[in-house]
Structure 1
Amino acid sequence: MDGHGRTADARASLAAGLSWHPAGTTDLPDWAALIARTAAVELPVWFERRDDLAQILASKVNPAAANTVLGRDRQGVPRAYGRITKNPDGDKAVGFGCVDPGWQRRGIGTGLLGWMEQRTRERFAEDARAGSASADRPPRLRLHTEQQHDHQAALFAGSGYQVVRYYNEMHRPLDIGFPEVELDDELELVTFGPQLHEAVRLAHNDVFRGNWGSEPRDEEGWGFVVHDPLARPDLSAVVLERSSGRVAGYQLASHDAEGAVSRGFSEGYTDLLGVRREFRGRGIAQALLADAMRRFAAAGLDKASLDVDSENPTGALALYTKMGYVAVNRSMAWDKEL
């Protein structure tokens, strides 16, 4: 095993006329250009940009030197990349990557999957040696794809992955009025800000405890949320219990101004929405969504949007539909036990 934790077998799986190395700071411009070039052809709903990649390079839990790989051609142009991320106590690693459209169908995607799988095995072994709670679980790699990307689905299915979950992207126009929702006097809605970062992190971990696919967010993972380049705290809100100051619910939003140009409309996107169990049934989620719509509209945006697990047991899909959201796209999560 070399200094970056990649075995000879993993390196061999990447052989495809490209020179491979971990991504670093000097790679940022070319790395971002590769992703943008691929996105211009494949038209995903969202893709990583330079500021996102800079965040990835700053990770201490998933250091880029061991968990990223970038392939350059003989002229030094990046043509493919892959990375994995894993929480130390998590039951899965999650893989990301792309191949330059002009270099697809050469086996590079298959090679990247092989590297991700090998690196996932290594991460599970490393965590087990460190006494992780995931030590007794088999290595598992999760990948995501949008419904329209048939070539990715074919690659994943052909490599032994199975769809384990479907997600619906939902939109609601902001020119049709807003629901009127009032909170009871014991609750207060406030704008999200730095003073609430930790309290909302703890609330989020509480809300999603035991939910399918969810893992607790540590401080670094939460930093990726609140310091995301697209994060908009001014479009986000928190509901507090007046007597205790406790977080009852939250809605964290973002806005992608560049994406609005390519998609032909602007949207406020609800990244996270949650209500603590003991506060449910009091209209908090509805109030947060209605507040988000007003904030988005006041910012001059066209639509409110979010994603929802199609099998969410809390009835979220029915709630969003009642609030005027309509499903417009579908994505899938794929798993493979290694």
Structure 2
Amino acid sequence: MIAQQYSTDVVILPDAPRIPGLVFRRFRGESDYPNILSCLHRSKNADGVERSDTLDDVIRNYTHLHNCDLYQDVLFAEVDGEAVGYSRVWWDENSEGQWLGSHLCFLAPEWRRKGIGRALLRFDEARLRQIAEERGARGELDAGIPCFFDVIFFDGETGKEALLLREGYTAIRYFFSMVRPSLEDIPEAPMPEGLEVRPAKPEHYRKVWDAAQEAFRDHWSFVPEPEEEYQSWIRSPEFWP
């Protein structure tokens, strides 16, 4: 059983710790976007993670999600009516014929190591199993396809790392951010003959997107980006054609 749910949006988790005022509940719509942002900021500030999300970023990202039902796949942890953490799940199928059940979680530092993160994690896993089973029953997921949980964490998120390792996760891939001493003395790198660099026009955006998709098709565990991601990309404040 994934959880018990009453007539409201409150969800009773079997693994929930006994903390006065603690409630787990579903997503309530646009009014929860500031709660998502607050949880993100409190978590990343505690862990030293470099990210600069704004409310507009959250709204744009959550407006263009794919394979994710916000009202079923997002869960908040509240204490005395204040959102202190949340989790979200979604799924993809990669180029290697694997089904990936992805999940994320952000929790305020003062509420960590109390069992809340573990309860959210196990809810996420149960929900992803439920999604896979439902897709299999509808004939949308082959019985023999390999299925995996997929999650990302940063170096500073030591609590998240410890929890995942205790729950049986194994690191299989690493990414590195590299810093150059300065922007001086950057070596020249001329374009090959016959190629030129020029600004993209609106009629080029889709071609650029499609070319990037094609270029990464042989990338390890490549997941084709759906239309929702394209729409989010062209609306991003970091989109500077």
TM-score interval, normalised by the smaller of the two chains: 0.7 to 0.9
Distance 1:141 1:13, change over 3 A: farther
RMSD: 2.6
Distance 1:190 1:91, change over 3 A: farther
Query: Is residue 2:77 matched to residue 1:71?
Result: yes
| Structure 1 residue 102: Cα displacement | 0.9
Distance 1:176 1:78, change over 3 A: same
Q: Distance in 2 between matches of 1:213 and 1:125?
A: 22
Equivalences for residues 250-269 of structure 1 within 5 A: none
| Structure 1 residue 40: Cα displacement | 2.1
Deviates more, 1:213-222 or 1:170-179: 170-179
Distance 1:215 1:170, change over 3 A: same
* Counterpart AA for 1:63: D
Structure 2 unmatched runs, 5+: 6-10
Contact persistence 2:42–2:107 (CA under 8 A): no
Q: Distance in 1 between matches of 2:207 and 2:201?
A: 11
SS at the partner of 2:58? Answer: helix
Query: Is residue 2:155 matched to residue 1:154?
Result: no
Q: Distance in 2 between matches of 1:205 and 1:175?
A: 30
Equivalences for residues 83-94 of structure 1 within 5 A: 83-87=88-92, 91-94=99-102
Query: Is residue 2:36 matched to residue 1:28?
Result: no
Task: Report the equivalent of 2:178.
Answer: 170
Contact persistence 2:90–2:102 (CA under 8 A): yes
Contact persistence 1:13–1:115 (CA under 8 A): no
Q: Distance in 2 between matches of 1:131 and 1:210?
A: 27
SS at the partner of 2:220? Answer: coil
Q: Distance in 2 between matches of 1:228 and 1:136?
A: 38
| Structure 1 residue 133: Cα displacement | 5.8
TM-score normalised to structure 1 length: 0.60
Q: Distance in 2 between matches of 1:7 and 1:193?
A: 50
* Counterpart AA for 1:38: S
Equivalences for residues 292-303 of structure 1 within 5 A: none
- Alpha-carbon displacement from aligned partner over 1:186-209 (angstroms, at most 9, x marks no partner): 322223453222212221221111
- Alpha-carbon displacement from aligned partner over 1:228-284 (angstroms, at most 9, x marks no partner): 34x1324xxxxxxxxxxxxxxxxxxxxxxxxxxxxxxxxxxxxxxxxxxxxxxxxxx
Contact persistence 1:22–1:69 (CA under 8 A): yes
SS at the partner of 1:156? Answer: helix
Contact persistence 1:95–1:142 (CA under 8 A): yes
Q: Distance in 2 between matches of 1:173 and 1:223?
A: 35
Q: Distance in 2 between matches of 1:21 and 1:47?
A: 26
Task: Report the equivalent of 1:205.
Answer: 213
Structure 1 unmatched runs, 5+: 235-338
